[in-house]
Amino acid sequence: MAENPGLYRRQASFDTDGWGAYKGVIPATRHQVCDKGANCTGIIERFNCSLRQRVSRLVQKALSISKSLRNHKGAIKHFICQYNLEVMGFA
């Protein structure tokens, strides 16, 4: 799997709900805790929900399975590309 470009890794910021486990993983300088009701995590939550709904391979006990990791990653990549084109308007 390809590494994220260095620029993304250096400039990434993370908006979370403040769950304690994030403190050990996300650098404090890039971590912003959202106030409840601020809806700053809403975009990623919407994406995660759409991903689970549309890529049945990610749902436990689904009838759709991937016979290889390559196919599994391909299905997710295909969804992300379609999502960016249709929903986010990057066409």
Given a contact cutoff of 8 angstroms between Cβ atoms, the answer to whether 44 and 52 are in contact is no
What backbone torsions phi and psi does residue 15 show, to the nearest 5 degrees? -100, 120
**Banded pLDDT at 1 (limits 50, 70, 90):** very low
Helix/strand/coil for 25: coil
- Cα-to-chain-centroid distance, residue 20: 19
Give pLDDT tens digits for 44-70. Answer: 788 888 888 888 777 766 667 777 888
Q: Name the residue ranges covered by the structural domains of the chain.
A: 1-40, 42-86
Which pLDDT does position 53 carry in this prediction?
83
Given a contact cutoff of 8 angstroms between Cβ atoms, the answer to whether 54 and 46 are in contact is no
Picking from 16, 75, 22, 86, the residue whose alpha carbon sits closest to that of residue 51 is 75
